[in-house]
Structure 1
Amino acid sequence: MAAPSLAAHRVSRLFPHGSRGMASTSGFKADESAKPDTRSLISSTKDHSAISQAMKDAETSGTTLEVTDPIAGKHDAFAKTVDISGREENGRTSTNKDTKRVSVASDGQEDDVFRIGMFPKSTHRDGSIYRANHSWKREYNVTNRNETRLPEPTDCDIRNGKCIRHIPNRVLQILSLKLIKLTVDPGPVELYGYIAVRDYMDTLLNYIVNISRDDPIIVKQGSLVAMAGPKRGINMLSTALVEFDMRIKVGKEERHDCQLIDGVSDLDDLWSPWDCALKYRIDGDCGTVDLTVSRIDRAVMANVEVVVSEVRSSFDLCFHCFIGGYDEEIRLFNGTIGESRHLTRSVVAVVDGSTVDLKFEVASEPSDSAEHYYSFKAGMHGLDTREMKTEFGLISVKVTWSTLLSI
């Protein structure tokens, strides 16, 4: 694999079967005789250097490199080219970001972590995200602060008992969100704010977490943060933006609060393999957050809803999810239940035909915990339900299967 010629902005790339084009700030030309599998294209340090140099050259010159798929298809409408060069209204160009892969010691182990940077003029506290005329702000409609819709497939085409219209697709799954380090008081802090994703299927905000200042969560250094979202799958047929503004509540007035992380970055499929866990580190003013993600091929959506009813007495509930092939815990809820309530509705991406395992930890106190497990097999359509009777009340689980896109 050779470095691209910057004179030719349009380059070709072979994708695995069923995929479509991916937009990125980097580009390369794959060996036309190679097998159509991108996973082998990232293993070489030399290849990484070529891509990295092309990215730096493109950023310096303000060039946008477009990656195109030689296979045409109906999903091409979602395969957009995004200029994230940092071009401002007056025509000046600044480097957008620097994504570095580093080894970070954790409990005596060396873990591969991608330390990501932020786009220029993308912070919320100073309002710069709403100013300047960067292309990525226009393309992703950043000034629109509305939340994404909740699409449900209703246009099935059933033949011989199977739907031939809806198919598994390429989806980004957020596996975990972890508060790695605090540069303020390392004890428990009150955390609020949001992390959301924008993709080309619908550029509105798709929240991973969204915590109000009036109802912050209490976390400590090294803790996982429960994720109530996303509310729909995240399309990985084009570059996805990750937008975040998380703060630590200090006093009565917001202006005194500490900024944890603030900015916008992006995720695409050019820098790492599919179907494995990848850790991205976000450094902020008052701490560090790790976002563990996976780009899942042939994914279907598990729409998970949990309802707690007939509460007899207050209890603590921790609700985990595990998807087939991954050891990472997806924490969807951790809190106290004192009354009947609709607990959560989250969408989890999983490879078609594999499993989703749900784990419930129910306790009245830390020393007295009971665990309940339920397993569901992934499919394109269908509905699975379970009921869990405990001494504290009744918990109902509903998993509805769907796909992100149709053909």
Structure 2
Amino acid sequence: MPGSAATGATTETGAGTATDRQIARAEAYSAHNYHPLPVVIASAEGAWVTDVEGRRYLDMLAGYSALNFGHANPRLIAAAKAQLDRVTLTSRAFHHDRFAEFCAALAQLCGMEMVLPMNTGAEAVETAVKTARKWGYRIKGVPDGRAKIVVAADNFHGRTTTIVSFSTDPDARADFGPYTPGFTVVPYGDLAALEAAVDDDTVAVLLEPIQGEAGVLVPPPGYLSGVRALTTARNVLFIADEIQSGLGRTGRTFACEHESVVPDMYVLGKALGGGVVPVSAVVSSRSVLGVFRPGEHGSTFGGNPLACAVGLEVIAMLRTGEYQLRAAELGAHLHAELGTLTSSGAVTAVRGRGLWAGVDIAPSLGTGRAVTERLMTHGVLAKDTHGSTIRLAPPLVISKEDLDWALARLRTVLGV
């Protein structure tokens, strides 16, 4: 319940507290690739987490959409526990009794024919890149070594060397070269620029239907349908990275559905593992994923029994449509409430769809990081991006009461 959160929680826990000791140890022994908020979570359930000091916080990030179904969802934990007693890993050297069922269920959910399971989102994007290139050479007939993929500026598809090669974020890209060639970057939402970039050597257009890391950027109306028409006309694959936007987050199973668009390939991850294990997948037609032959691509843990068991339960939960409907209804409420903040001057813009919002904070109120730190002292956990923006993406299981509680604390922090 909202009233049970520690609204007086503070980042100044005092020297020698459990929080201080944990953070100091992490700083001493882990590489500084993240800049976490100074909270140390010890347990979680639903939309709430509890730190090592016993303080409760409402999770308004949901693991970047990995926790769409909340922390410790009973159905997903039960599925994982049942599988743990049977078999957890065989590698793809052998068949196991959950693999075919998982692939068939996910293909049906996506309206596709074949599935290539992996683990992380970045691994799935790498798989999509390799698939598109192989399809381009074997099916489209692009000369060897000349395949091109068109991507959007401000994208976030992961952090592997190939992926950061086509990032426009200096923090993600700097000092990791030499970079992988074969990518053309165009402005997000600019259909004319995309059309100009596509040529005979183009094998795919890779896009996020909504750009999450960039600040929950929603493209202009008609953009996705325009991309679909262009790629169809030019015999180019349309690859939709729905790792963050998919599986219920925006009020539909996939964000592409808001424009009645079906891409040639879905790239999925995060929520597919239910917040229990990392699960990702590339889902497409037989004519596309059928280009692979044994030994040409693989992953030791991809499609393992434990991942398939959890993934199957995720798919079963999505089939009911209740989570998509919940995201749509609560999302409409979220955006209506956030919209009132723009007239106050504390917020300069709000974007998003479903239970997903990017909120641009007025510079006079501090950085996005400063706002998330103040929110934490009021019992709400969120994440900043690109300086002045905070992202709100609570678990889809959040109650309207808890959502309103978080919004009230956001108003307090912003002074409105």
TM-score, normalising length: structure 1: 0.29
TM-score, normalising length: structure 2: 0.28
Higher relative contact order (CA 8 A, sep 6+): 2
The structure with the greater share of residues assigned to helix is 2
The structure with the greater share of residues assigned to strand is 1
